[in-house]
Amino acid sequence: NAGVMQNPRHLVRRRGQEARLRCSPMKGHSHVYWYRQLPEEGLKFMVYLQKENIIDESGMPKERFSAEFPKEGPSILRIQQVVRGDSAAYFCASSPDKGGELFFGEGSRLTVL
């Protein structure tokens, strides 16, 4: 049973470009969470999704950031018009149920030049 798969592992973008981060949850998991981690800091919750629905996006910046979890395919975190402050590690986690154990991926490290 493969774990949570994130890609790309590393992504470099110039200011103003778009970044797309993908997350495939563990098999059988329908709950997906995205977190952002700055160096030497803890993870900050961004958004919680179930298939085709955003359940909680209270941690998501109001502009430039969006997330989806379509019926088919991976969850996508999209950052438009990236700025240097978006440079961080973005982690995806999945769980089999609402309050269950979170299984994290290896993260996607975004660097904005």
Residues of this chain that bind another protein (CB under 8 A) = 4, 31, 33, 35, 40-45, 48, 55-56, 59, 91, 93, 95, 98-107
User: Got the DSSP string for 53-101?
Assistant: EEEE-TTS-SSSEEEE--SSS-EEEEE-S--GGG-EEEEEEEESSTTS-
Q: Which lies closer to another protein via its Cβ, residue 17 or residue 45?
A: 45
CB atoms within 10 A of CB 44: 13
Q: Which lies closer to another protein via its Cβ, residue 76 or residue 102?
A: 102
Beta bridge pairs of residue 89: 37, 109
Q: Which lies closer to another protein via its Cβ, residue 82 or residue 90?
A: 90
Q: Which lies closer to another protein via its Cβ, residue 58 or residue 63?
A: 58
Which three-class secondary structure state does DSSP give residue 3?
A: coil
In the complex, least distance from residue 81 CB atom to another protein, rounded to whole angstroms:
26
